[in-house]
Amino acid sequence: MTKKIALVTGAGSGVGRAAALALLADGYIVVLTGRRQGALEETISLAAEPANALAIAADVTDPAAVEFLFAQIKSRCGRLDLLFNNAGTNVPATNFGDLTMAQWSHVVAVNLNGAFLCANAAYRMMRDQTPQGGRIINNGSISAHSPRPGSAPYTATKHAITGLTKTIALDGRAHNIACGQIDIGNAATPMTRRMATGVPQADGSLRPEPTMDVEIVGRTLVYMASLPPDANAMFLTVMATTMPFAGRG
């Protein structure tokens, strides 16, 4: 059986690294992308099957870089079966009234424009390849449902990802392209280390929050990717069990 081809954006660390390693362990050929070639190579060095991994550095906010990335995938792999649209960024917690245009634009460029560019290029490849079709999974985050204090740019972009997911899922029906969204809460990565010492809460307090092993995210992504073409986990939330989300905290 021909191995399936997956692309993971933001694969140099955190959730993207865990996803790439999980897909490699599940038998995929995985193209890893991100801005830092060295970080991508480090991810590959951790894989049980490094020969099935390909690192191509690219800035997802740059249309020319994304075009080059997908041209490389087509020429070197022939097709694309799965995109995990994961690359993202944030700025320090900032009260809405103190946000600058530069902060807003930076987050929108990566989290929304970058997600669009990669999903759009993947959609076109999946639509035009033979056999037709594939699956796009967008990283939504718990922030696609509920904000943290001082997180307007991140929360706005993650709410927008939900709209993007729904639209791709609708438009993709005619071309055998499924689209789903994984909403992750408090996966243990370098970005969430601060949760051990305390993060701002809605009541103004600073409290530690529980986290979960980031490998669980990889396992969840593999499940979503494993579904047959006639099934789609359109929205799936995976989170630390006791993190403040449901109810009032």
SS3 state at 174: helix
| 249 in any annotated domain | no
**Single-letter amino acid code for the residue at 226:** S
| 245 in any annotated domain | no
Rounded percentage of the chain residues whose pLDDT exceeds 70: 98
Residue 195 has pLDDT above 90, yes or no: no
Query: Which tokens in the block code for residue 239?
Result: 């989170």
Q: Give the CB-side neighbour count of residue 5, counting CA atoms within 13 A.
A: 18
Please write the tens of the pLDDT for every residue from 134-162.
999 999 999 999 999 999 999 999 999 99
Report the alpha-carbon angle 189-194-21, nearest 5. Answer: 0
State the pLDDT at residue 249: 62
| 50 in any annotated domain | yes
Residue 70 has pLDDT above 90, yes or no: yes
**Single-letter amino acid code for the residue at 134:** G
CA distances from 86 to 63, 79, 129 (A): 17, 20, 23
Report the alpha-carbon angle 7-135-217, nearest 5. Answer: 65
CB 107 within 8 A of CB 91: yes
Residue 130 has pLDDT above 50, yes or no: yes
C-alpha closest to that of 218 among 91, 48, 37: 48
154 has catalytic annotation? yes
| 230 in any annotated domain | yes
| 248 in any annotated domain | no
Domain count for the chain, please give it. Answer: 1
| 244 in any annotated domain | no
C-alpha closest to that of 162 among 140, 143, 184, 137: 140
State the pLDDT at residue 2: 81
Mean pLDDT along residues 183-205: 87
Please write the tens of the pLDDT for every residue from 91-120.
999 999 999 999 999 999 999 999 999 999
State the pLDDT at residue 1: 46
Query: What's 30's domain CATH number?
Result: 3.40.50.720
| 177 in any annotated domain | yes
| 246 in any annotated domain | no
**Range(s) of the domain holding residue 51:** 5-239
The mean pLDDT of the chain is 95
